[in-house]
């Protein structure tokens, strides 16, 4: 009997089993390689720097050292190469990327800052000379002598300044989380606290260790030509404790008390409670004086001018100034030291880490002819 065929079948079976074993081993090795690649990609992803604030190029070495070294772990030695670093007891100047983000958010959420003239200074003080009336001029013939013009009168503007501070806190666990965007969080917290303090100071600040608000400036009912420099003009509402019977006429008078040149870019400023009253005013033909913005994001308008809501403006009451109208770019000056400083404090509020941020900010009326006020008075 021939046993060749069964032996060949048995050899083929053994060969097939061996091939299956080899295939399983190869598949296992491939899976191991895939897992290793995934692990490496994950490590690379975690180690890679986050995108720069606002997109674009990778963060600078200054920003990376400030965030990863100082803010997250408190390593002050990594700030030795940072320009603008000051003594540790006073904090360290934040990199320009974070400072720019703070400024951008401040402009968005601080109503008076958004409409006023803002200047950056390199020191705590700022001075500006403003001419009163300008230089004299005249007409002459082609060959006539040119008489000397009168010397213009200058007024010095030195906005009172104070130190604005914020003290947001984060847990160490949040700081240790690589996915926690500490730059955006810190800028948002600082900007929000700064905006709350600024809102009150730019409106009614006393000028002592803080800006002097435009409502803290002297006021008078006299016109521009005879009113002292720095004194704002007010128009009376006609009623001792509220608006009179024809409030729309008072608002029209308020608008046209401002010179035509300043009306280009002028806005109304009032709080939401006053605005709720003003929105009900109608003209003689029954149309509302207030008109909503026609496009998304466009401001509402009153008599054709944008309305800015500033909650720190006073309510309608006897003797108050609830409505301002003017060109604040020309009328109010905000001066600020460019660098914001931050001091990391992990000890005061354990287990939280406090970030004590400070900035020098000042403000004052710049051109008293550019802002008019409505006073609740007879």
Q: Answer yes or no: is 199 within a domain.
A: yes
Q: Does 325 lie in the same domain as 339?
A: no
Q: Answer yes or no: is 97 within a domain.
A: yes
Q: Answer yes or no: is 303 within a domain.
A: yes
Q: Does 317 lie in the same domain as 262?
A: yes
Domain that holds residue 69: 61-131+152-209+335-365
Q: Give the H/E segment covering residue 278.
A: helix 272-278
CATH, residue 66: 3.30.2400
Query: Which residues, listed in sequence order, are joined to residue 85 by a DSSP beta bridge?
Result: 92
Q: Answer yes or no: is 319 within a domain.
A: yes
Q: Give the H/E segment covering residue 375.
A: strand 371-375
Distance between CA 301 and CA 290 in Å, rounded?
6
Distance between CA 218 and CA 7 in Å, rounded?
116
Number of H helices and E strands in the chain, helices first, is: 10, 17
- Number of domains the chain contains: 2
Q: Does 321 lie in the same domain as 239?
A: yes
Distance between CA 239 and CA 378 in Å, rounded?
5
Q: Does 184 lie in the same domain as 159?
A: yes
pLDDT-based confidence at residue 365 (cuts at 50, 70, 90)? very high
Q: Answer yes or no: is 14 within a domain.
A: no
Q: Does 224 lie in the same domain as 111?
A: no
Q: What is the pLDDT of residue 175?
A: 84
Closest-CA residue to 117 (of 61, 67, 159): 159
How far is CA 118 from each of CA 21, 193, 275, 333, 344, rounded to the nearest angstrom?
76, 19, 26, 6, 28
Half-sphere exposure of 258 (CA within 13 A, CB side): 28
The pTM assigned to this predicted structure is 0.74
Q: Does 347 lie in the same domain as 311?
A: no
Closest-CA residue to 191 (of 53, 51, 364, 314): 53
Q: Does 236 lie in the same domain as 186?
A: no
The pair of three-digit structure tokens given for residue 25, joined into one six-digit string: 């081993």
CB-based burial label for 136 (10 Å; 0-12, 13-18, 19+):
exposed
Average pLDDT over residues 282-296: 83
Structure-model confidence comparison of residues 313 and 291, the more confident one: 313
Please check whether residue 237 is in contact with residue 377, taking contact to mean a CB–CB distance below 8 angstroms: yes
Q: Answer yes or no: is 137 within a domain.
A: no
Query: pLDDT for 48-89, tens place per residue?
Result: 545 544 444 555 666 776 777 677 767 766 554 444 444 445
Cβ contacts of 292 within 8 Å, gap of 6 or more? 300
Please check whether residue 126 is in contact with residue 162, taking contact to mean a CB–CB distance below 8 angstroms: no
Q: What is the pLDDT of residue 349?
A: 84
Q: Answer yes or no: is 2 within a domain.
A: no
Among the ranges given (86-90, 288-292, 329-333), the one the predictor scored with the smallest mean pLDDT:
86-90
Q: Does 256 lie in the same domain as 201?
A: no
pLDDT-based confidence at residue 259 (cuts at 50, 70, 90)? very high
Among the ranges given (33-47, 108-122, 145-159, 339-353), the one the predictor scored with the smallest mean pLDDT:
33-47
Q: Please report the beta strands in 159-304, taking only residues with DSSP state E, as ranges in sequence order.
A: 161-166, 169-171, 219-220, 232-236, 267-270, 290-291, 301-302
Q: Does 317 lie in the same domain as 193?
A: no
318-346 as b/e: b if 16+ CB within 10 A: eebbbbbbbbbbbbbbbbbbbbbbbbbbe
- CB pairs under 8 A, 24+ apart, for 300-306? 302/251, 302/268, 302/278, 303/251, 303/252, 303/255, 305/255, 305/263, 305/266, 305/267, 305/268, 306/267, 306/268
Rg of the chain taking only CA atoms, in angstroms: 33
Our CA angle for 183, 188, 79, nearest 5°, is: 35
Among the ranges given (181-185, 221-225, 327-331), the one the predictor scored with the smallest mean pLDDT:
181-185
- State the alpha helices, DSSP H only, in 49-181: 61-64, 96-109, 111-115, 172-176
Q: Does 251 lie in the same domain as 355?
A: no
CATH, residue 274: 3.30.2320
Average pLDDT over residues 87-105: 72
Q: Answer yes or no: is 136 within a domain.
A: no
Query: pLDDT for 118-163, tens place per residue?
Result: 998 877 678 887 776 656 677 888 888 888 777 777 788 889 999 9
Q: Does 201 lie in the same domain as 104?
A: yes
Q: Does 201 lie in the same domain as 188?
A: yes
């Amino acid at each position: 009997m021939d046993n060749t065929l069964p032996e060949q079948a048995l050899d083929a079976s053994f060969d097939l089993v061996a091939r299956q074993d080899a295939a399983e081993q190869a598949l296992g090795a491939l899976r191991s390689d895939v897992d290793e690649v995934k692990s490496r990609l994950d490590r690379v992803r975690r180690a890679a720097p986050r995108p720069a604030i606002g997109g674009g190029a990778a963060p600078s070495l200054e920003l990376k050292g400030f965030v990863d070294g100082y803010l997250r772990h408190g390593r002050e030695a990594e700030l030795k190469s940072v320009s603008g670093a000051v003594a540790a007891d006073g904090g360290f100047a934040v990199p320009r990327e974070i400072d720019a983000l703070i400024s951008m958010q401040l402009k968005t959420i601080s109503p008076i800052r958004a409409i006023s003239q803002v200047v950056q200074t390199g020191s705590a003080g700022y001075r500006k000379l403003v001419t009163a009336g300008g230089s004299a001029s005249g007409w002459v013939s082609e060959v006539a002598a040119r008489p000397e013009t009168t010397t213009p009168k200058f007024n010095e503007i030195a906005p009172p300044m104070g130190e604005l501070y914020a003290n947001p806190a984060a847990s160490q666990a949040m700081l240790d989380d690589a996915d926690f965007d500490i730059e955006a969080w810190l800028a948002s917290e600082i900007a929000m606290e700064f905006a709350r303090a600024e809102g009150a100071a730019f409106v009614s600040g006393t000028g002592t260790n803080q800006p002097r608000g435009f409502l803290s400036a002297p006021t008078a009912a006299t016109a521009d030509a005879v009113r002292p420099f720095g004194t704002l003009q007010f128009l009376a509402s006609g009623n001792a404790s509220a608006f009179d019977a024809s409030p729309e006429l008072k608002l029209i008078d308020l608008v046209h008390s401002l010179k035509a040149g300043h009306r280009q870019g002028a806005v109304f400023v009032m709080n939401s409670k006053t605005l709720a009253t003003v929105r009900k005013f109608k003209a003689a033909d029954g149309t509302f004086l207030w008109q909503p913005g026609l496009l998304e994001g466009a401001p509402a308008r009153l008599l054709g001018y944008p309305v800015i809501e500033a909650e720190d403006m006073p309510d309608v009451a006897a003797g108050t100034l609830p409505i301002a109208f003017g060109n604040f770019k020309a009328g109010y000056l905000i001066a600020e030291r460019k660098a914001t400083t931050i001091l990391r404090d992990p000890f005061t509020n354990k287990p939280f880490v406090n970030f004590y941020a400070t900035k020098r900010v000042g403000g004052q009326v710049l051109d008293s002819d550019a802002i008019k006020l409505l006073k609740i008075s007879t």
